[in-house]
Amino acid sequence: MARIHAIGSALVLGGAVLLPSVAADAHGIWFAQRAKQLAIIYGVGADDLEAVKRQPMLESIQAWDAALRPVAARLRTDGPVVVVDIDAKPALVSAVLPNGTWTKLPDGEFVKKGKDEVPGAKFAETTIKYAVTLQGAGVPRVPLIPAQLLQIVPVGAIPAKLGQPLTYRITFRGKPVAGAEVVNDMVNDPDATPRVTRTDGLVTLPVRNQGLNVIRAVLTRPSDRPAQFDRYEHTATLAFTLPHAPEE
């Protein structure tokens, strides 16, 4: 669910709802290492917001090796963490979280209901979260993954050092998309001013960390059920890690 900034409530102009802009701190899911295991994190910035209670909603857990051959993958709860058990060493892993419909109350809080169920509702959105990670050297070319309706696809090889430029293509339903808001570091700088894609879906950013990098893209689309919610919010992440220098 996205937190909404700026105008605190939706405005009605000529019978139309003017929605708040996409928040800089939209929650998402991403992959990260926890105790030498690959885990799925739900949150934003440093907030780790209980992925375990959302595990039943996670779907389309997929993994591939470096030759893009499918590898069996499944989720497992390990204490407060959701980990991905994979039968062989993966190069590419993905997941989807259909996070449901959330309505903003007059006091600013959100409830997991349609706005038709909430008296005085400000606005409502249905949110879907997508995550892809490259593991190790990754794959020669990241393919389009059908389950990832919104996807961040690196164009070319991942640089070995931070600060070097990397171009990403943001796709929606398999095609480049304009209007996606892209943040270079969802974990360490979630409030950064986003870059907005044009019709080619491309954005070039410097690789930010000599370690874990989590890029985020957010795209909104109009509702097909306006009585229940005003828009869809799609949030995608791409995670990869640059190796640090060896210990001496």
CA atoms within a 13 Å half-sphere pointing along the CA-CB vector of 214? 25
Model pLDDT for residues 98-157, shown as the tens digit of each residue: 999 999 998 889 999 999 999 989 899 999 999 999 999 889 999 999 999 999 999 999
Q: Which amino acid, 50?
A: E
pLDDT at 9: 29
Whether 27 and 4 have beta carbons less than 8 Å apart is answered as no
Rounded Cα distance, 121 and 104, in Å = 6
Q: What is the DSSP letter of 213?
A: E
Whether 153 and 182 have beta carbons less than 8 Å apart is answered as no
pTM of the model: 0.89
Question: Which residues in the chain come in under a pLDDT of 70?
Answer: 1-25
Where residue 229 falls (left for φ over 0; alpha for ψ -120 to 50; beta otherwise) is beta
Least Cα distance to 25 among 190, 194, 219, 220 occurs for: 190
pLDDT at 233: 97
CA atoms within a 13 Å half-sphere pointing along the CA-CB vector of 225? 10
Token digits for 211? 């370690």
Whether 150 and 235 have beta carbons less than 8 Å apart is answered as yes
Rounded Cα distance, 49 and 150, in Å = 22
pLDDT at 22: 53
DSSP string, 135-192: -TT--SSPPP-TT-SEEEEEESPPPSSTT-EEEEEEEETTEE-SS-EEES-TTT-TTS
Strands (E), the chain: 11-13, 16-18, 28-34, 37-44, 47-48, 59-64, 70-71, 73-78, 81-86, 92-104, 110-111, 124-134, 150-155, 165-172, 175-176, 181-183, 195-196, 202-206, 212-222, 231-241
- Spatial neighbors of 99 by CB under 8 A, at least 6 apart, are 1, 54, 57, 127, 128, 129
